[in-house]
Each structure stands twice: as C-alpha cells, then as structure tokens.
Structure 1
C-alpha cells in the first residue's frame, strides 16, 4: 500500500460553524438509519402484509432476505456513487445520495399490501430497499470522509465518530415513536396500518434534510486537490488497491455485525425468541441507542489519544471471548434486565471499536479514491456481514435450537476485525518504511 495523502484540516473556522457542518452532513445518515431500523423492528408486521405464508418462519425469512437484499446493492452504490463523489465533490454527491434514498423511503411507506396488488407489493418493497441500499453505499463513506477532511488536527477520530452517532439519534427517535404507537394502538391496528406511520414521518422530514444538505460547503481538502480523477481512473485505482479494500471490509465486519445485532435485530429477537413484550424490546433498543451515542465519540477521542490500532485490537479480543457467553446468560433466563445488561455491554464495544474504526478506514485509503474505497469496503462488510445479521441469527437459532447462537456470528466478525487490524497496520508500517528509505 502506498502511503496515503494526509487529510488536510481546515483552520480558522469557529466551533459553532463546525458543529453546524456536522449536523448538515450527518442528516442523511439519520434518514438512512431511521428507515432501516423501522424495517427491522416492524419485520413481523411487514412479513404478514407483503410476504404472507403458512409458516411464520418462512415469512420472516423472506422479509429479512429483502432487508438484506438492499445491502447487496451497497457495493454498486459505493463504486458508482463513490466515484461520482470523488470526482464532483462531497457536497453535490451527498445531495444525490439523499435524493435516491428518499425515493426508496417514499416507495416503502406507500406501497399497498399483498392482498391489494398481489406480487407487485413485495416487488415494489424490494425495489425500495434496493434504492435505499444503492444510495447508502456511498452515503456513509461520503459523510465519513467529509467529517475527516473538516476535522481539526489531532481530533479526526472524534469528528468522524459523529457519522455513527447521528444514526443513534435516528434509532432513539424511531424507537420512541414505536413505543408511543404501541401504547396508543392495539396490535391489530399496528399490524393493519399503524406500522406505516413512522415511515410516513420519515417521508415528512425529507424536505428539511434537503435544506440542510444544500447548505453544505465543499471541504477545503477536496478543493485543494489539483487533480480530480475520472471514473475510469477511480475504478483502476480501486482494482490496484483491492487488498486494502478487502482488509477494510474485514475491519468493518465487527462494527456492522454488532450494530445490526443490537439495533435492527433486537426487537425481533426480544419478541420472537426471548418472548419478551414489545414494550420491553423497544425500551432496550432505545436505551442501547443512547448508550451508542455516548460511547461513539468517546471511542473516537480515545483513539485520537492512544492510537487506532491498540483500541481496535483490545475491543476485538473482548468481543471474541464474551459475545456467546453473554447471550447464553441472557437466553438461560430471559428478562428485561438481563437483555438490557447484555446489549449495553455489546453497545460499549460497538461504540469504542467504531469510534476508532471509521477514522482508521479513512486514513488507510488512498486520497484519490477515499470516498469510493471507504464506501466499497464498508458496503462489502455490510452486505456480507451486517446486513444479513438478522437473517443469519434467525437461521442459526432455527437449526441449532440455541437462542444464544447469534453470539457465534458476532465472535466470528470480531475475529475478522482482529485479523484485519493486524494486517492493515503491518502493511501501512511497511509502506511508510519503504517510502522513508526511498526518500
């Protein structure tokens, strides 16, 4: 790997101006996670409306498969939209990704059920998920790189952590709306039409998010670059740096798997597997999102002080050896208190790991393909690991009859993160040493 071009930080910008820029750029992340969480939380209802079957397991698996299909589009979005953002700029590219994402959101919110339009209903839901996945493929990378390029010296981990922190705000809001609906409506009302209400709220805030995105300024780091590569150049550079992309995918596997396990899958796991109440599952999810919001910037700040590598290694090892025992303890005697304790523990190592990982991934990518490379690595991890975590967890529990089986999947993802950290930083050290000797 060739040493990457330093990420230049702008200077002379007030703290309030930077805070406003963080809010504007992360607004799209909010919409993405708001809808993704809702799809996972209302999976049971969506399965009955759009994927009716004589088997509840089959309906749920079809729903989670469609949920996961959106993640298969992420690598394509990362390549094509990521290349577009690296060519035309962060601001314009992020407006485009928000437009595509909003289209998918509106489609899912408004599609009639299977009973009304037959097979067209699940087909349109699938199309909506594919649009969301395509846009999300570059959205997260574009936001992360924007934050990295606007960060003040020595604080890149702290700034980039707000990419994920914004998603936690979305989960808190979605869980709070779901909790309110659960209190105000009957299960029959929620199943018939109430589940659409949060999706429609997401549609209603789209104009506000567009207003925020349109007021973004281009980053100084992008404007200072003398050469903005064409798409063909970007594709060639991605191919030349395929080892870094694969390493970045494995590095990200830990964070995507943990995130979708403790947020999107938690409500279904609590209701269908542990047989806890809907209110308990929602409250745990809400508190976990608050915990994530707290730990993410702490993880980023700690990595700014002690380095990315030590933190990534420590948390990976912690996850490998505690994921299954923690879930096994929960499965032995399911309760609200035990579920909260276990998921807050997972939230701790998610926040600390991800706080360091996002900054690390922006730093190992070559500058010319920083958005495309970051987005492709993250999208592959989400497609292979995180996005299918609900489906894999459901399958593992079904075939093993072990309610703690998702812990195996999480430990495996943590092992991938451990190996990737060692490999990427060894390669980076070798490249830096080679560059220093040749100079």
Structure 2
C-alpha cells in the first residue's frame, strides 16, 4: 500500500476508534455546564449551593462506577478483542445518555427523578471506565514505530471536539432563548442532540478492524487470568493512577467546572464562560498531540515532571489573580495556561500509561488506573471546588485541589522512571 492510502487508512481508524469518546465527553460537559438547571429539575432545594452539591455528587457517584467498568469490561476487551469491546461500551454509554435526556423532572414524578438520573449516570460511569483505556490501547497498537505518544494523544484530543461542539450548542442556545426558558427545559435540547448523534457513532464503531497486535497474540487471557494479573500489578496500577490524577483534575476544572465557576463564583455571563470553555477545547485539541510528539522525542519523564511542577507552582498565583478582579480576559488567560498544562501532560501521560502496564492485560490495567484517577479525583473536582470555596470563603481555593494532583504526578513519575528505567511489571499471562 502506498504512503497516501496508508495515511488515510490510519486517520480513518483513529476517527472511528475515538468517536465514542465524543459521546462520553459531550454528555459529561453538558452535565457540568447545565448543573444549575439540572439541580433545579431533579434536586430542588431552597439552598442553591446544596442543590449544586447534590448534582455534582451524582456526577461523582457515576464516576465511582468507572473502576468497576474498568475491571469487568477491561477483562472482556482483553479476552474478546478491542473492536467488539468498544462496541459494547458504546452501547452501554448510549443507553445511559438516553435515560438522562428523557427523564421527567422532580416536579413530575417526584423522588423517582433523581433515582433515574443516578441510574443513568451509573451506566455512563460503568462504560466510561473502559472507554478511554480501550481507545488508548487501540491507538497504541495501530501506531507506527516511535510515534506511540502521538497516536494515543488523539484519544484525549477527540474529547476536546465534543467539548467544542457542546460549547457552541450551549452558546447558541443561550443567545436564542431567555435564561428562564433554558433553565426550565431548554437545557435538554443539547442532550437530545447527543441522542441523535448515537446512530452515527455506532456506524463508525462497527467499521473498526481488530488491531494486528491483538490478532498476533498466541493466547488471549481468561477473565480469571486478567484479574490475577491486575492484582499482581497493583503497585503499577496505583502509580498509574497517581500519574493520571493531574490530567483528570485539570481537565474537569477547565471544562466541566469552568462554566459553573464563571457564572456562580466569578459572576461573569454564561456567554463569557461558554466562550472561554470553547476556546479551551480548541487549545486542548492542539496541545495533546504536541505533548505526545514531544514525549516521543525526549521521553515521558521530563515532560510529566516539568508540567506537574509548573502546575504546582502557578496554580494559586493564577487563581488568586483571577478572583481578585474577575473579567473575561483574566479567565481566558488563566484557562489558557491550564489548557497548556493539561494538553501537554495528557498527551504524554496516555503514552506512558500504555507502556508501563502489562501487555496482555493492557486494557484492564490502563483502564483501572485511569478510572481510579477519574473516580476518586477528576470527576470529584466540581464538588471539591464548590466545597472548598464554601468552607474557606476563598474563591481561589480550588487551586489546592490542583496542586494536590500535581504533587501526586511528580511523585509517581519519579518513582516509575527511577534511575532512568521504567518500573518492572509482572505479566502472569503467557504470550
């Protein structure tokens, strides 16, 4: 095959593999942006902060299903194959999305409403637990030599397209409808649009081909062998989780939480908060492959430690400067800085995580490490940020959460790449 058809084939494979990430992040972002409206619809309370905490609490509870999905669905993908597994995860994710989009409000069906929303979030979290890992492993296994970081970075870049599209829809909606209408029922429109996209994504996923690396394996592990290997490599899973924490906390802060932060804390307009988020999605898309490509050339460790160190040192000064006199320009500047940190670090982290987990149970161990980071830290970011501001009275206090993530990243990277060598893994499955 000549070079041009090969390039088109690889681009097509990347697009088909990452299409499911679009649905996942599209819905996640909408849940964060319309948190206030969702709180009123499903978690009515006289205290706005309490209603928001309930909403973000459900958002986080859904994420707690990620580790479960990582183990159960990860074992399935490592045993059955990447292609079939990614179709199954998409099916579960789509069902959860439809449930949330069409769930009646609390005023209509009472306490059943928040219960149904929670079930929808649990399904989404279960699927999301392996979606990122499954896609990252797929991209790693179709990558060309010396470009694994660059290829896997497009898993994260694809999510930024979802944020971009969701932000545009939200911006148009806020411009064309009164705020009261959006809060009452207009917030459901983007979720309905997400439902309409589902058939297209299914078509793309069904045309995926299995990776040559998976097909070349002489033996595919059984579920019990996958679980045994994950337990045997618990140390590398924990270190992988620690490396991924900065990615998840920064991502949810600059995308899911920013619209709420801009409107309720900084008192900026919904349009300003949306526009900043839209621009952040664009720069996130750019910085991810840059980070992956740079780490392919100079190594994962230098990029991970440098970015985590910068994040730790600048988080508080940047947020303190922003909240002292909030403005659109300041919010944009601060978020552009965090976007650079997130994209460069994430593009590197994905390649690193694929490489440090055992080959024959890549999907399970990768997914479990990232799912733990997302469940315990990343998706907890909106809740933690809201709680920190409420408890301290300091609008810049979410920086402490980001600094904590940076600290974990530095410790884990230095441990994994100690002495210039990657920590050894124990592969309990014969090739």
**In the alignment, structure 1 residue 228 sits paired with structure 2 residue 212:** no
Task: After TM superposition, list the pairs within 5 Å mapping 1:359-378 onto structure 2.
Answer: 359-378=351-370
Instruction: Provide the C-alpha distance between the structure 2 equivalents of 1:12 and 1:79, rounded to a whole number of angstroms.
Output: 39
**Alpha-carbon deviations, 1:177-203, whole Å to 9, x = none?**
000000000011101110000000000
TM-score, L = length of structure 1: 0.95
- Residues 356 and 425 of structure 2 are in contact (CA less than 8 Å); yes or no, is this contact kept in structure 1? no
Structure 2: distance between partners of 1:309 and 1:425: 7
Aligned-CA RMSD value: 1.6
Matches within 5 A, 1:90-169: 90-169=82-161
Whole-Å Cα distance in 2 between the matches of residues 370 and 27 of structure 1? 21
Question: For residues 432 and 159 of structure 1, what CA distance do their matches in structure 2 show?
Answer: 24
Q: Is the 8 A contact 1:148 1:156 kept in 2?
A: yes
Q: Is the 8 A contact 2:97 2:124 kept in 1?
A: yes
Please tell me whether the aligned partners of residues 78 and 376 of structure 1 are also in contact (alpha carbons under 8 angstroms).
yes
The structure-2 alpha-carbon separation of the partners of 1:423 and 1:339, relative to structure 1 and needing over 3 Å to count, comes to same
Runs of at least 5 residues in structure 2 that lack an aligned partner in the other structure: 427-431
Long gaps (5+) in structure 1? 1-10, 435-439
CA displacement at 1:324 relative to structure 2:
1.0
Q: Aligned in 2, Cα 1:428/1:141: closer, same or farther, shift over 3 Å? A: farther
SS of match in other structure, 1:67: helix
Partner of 2:327: 335
Report the CA distance shift for 1:294/1:131 in structure 2 as closer, same or farther (over 3 A): same
Retained in 1: the 8 A contact 2:417–2:423? no
Alignment of 1:261-410 (within 5 A): 261-410=253-402
Q: Is residue 233–residue 425 contact of structure 2 (8 Å, CA) maintained in 1?
A: no
Q: Is the 8 A contact 1:77 1:138 kept in 2?
A: yes
- Separation in structure 1 between the aligned mates of residue 390 and residue 316 of structure 2, nearest angstrom: 16
User: Deviation of residue 114 (structure 1)?
Assistant: 0.1
Q: Write the deviation string for residues 347-395 of structure 1: whole angstroms up to 9, x where unpaired.
A: 0011110110000000000011100000000000001110100000000
* 1:429 to partner: Cα distance: 2.0
Whether the 8 Å CA contact 1:364–1:428 is kept in 2: the answer is no
Q: Is the 8 A contact 1:259 1:386 kept in 2?
A: yes
* 1:248 and 2:240 aligned: yes
Tell me the distance in 2 between the aligned counterparts of 1:248 and 1:397: 29
Distance (whole Å) between structure 1 residues aligned to residue 130 and residue 333 of structure 2 = 34
- State the secondary structure of the residue aligned to 1:265: helix
Shift of 1:154: 0.7
Give 1:424 shift.
Answer: 1.1
Q: Which residue number corresponds to residue 55 of structure 2? A: 63
Query: SS of the residue aligned with 1:330?
Result: helix
Partner of 1:20: 12
Counterparts in 2 of 1:22 and 1:258: CA distance versus 1, 3 Å: same
Q: Which residue of structure 1 lines up, in the alignment, with residue 203 of structure 2?
A: 211
Q: Secondary structure at the match of 2:417?
A: helix
Deviations 1:86-126 (A, max 9, x none): 00000000000000000000000000000000000000000
1:43 matches 2:35:
yes
Question: For 1:107 and 1:433, how far apart are their aligned partners in 2?
Answer: 40
How many angstroms apart in 2 are the aligned matches of 1:191 and 1:120? 20
- SS in structure 2 at match of 1:397: helix
1:177 equivalent to 2:173? Answer no
SS in 1 for 2:256: coil
Deviations 1:119-170 (A, max 9, x none): 0000000000000000000010000000000000011111000000000000
Tell me how far 1:427 sits from its aligned partner: 8.3
Q: For residue 45 of structure 2, what is the aligned residue in structure 1?
A: 53
Q: Distance in 2 between matches of 1:325 and 1:253?
A: 21
Alpha-carbon distance change, 308 to 65 in structure 1, aligned in 2, over 3 angstroms = same
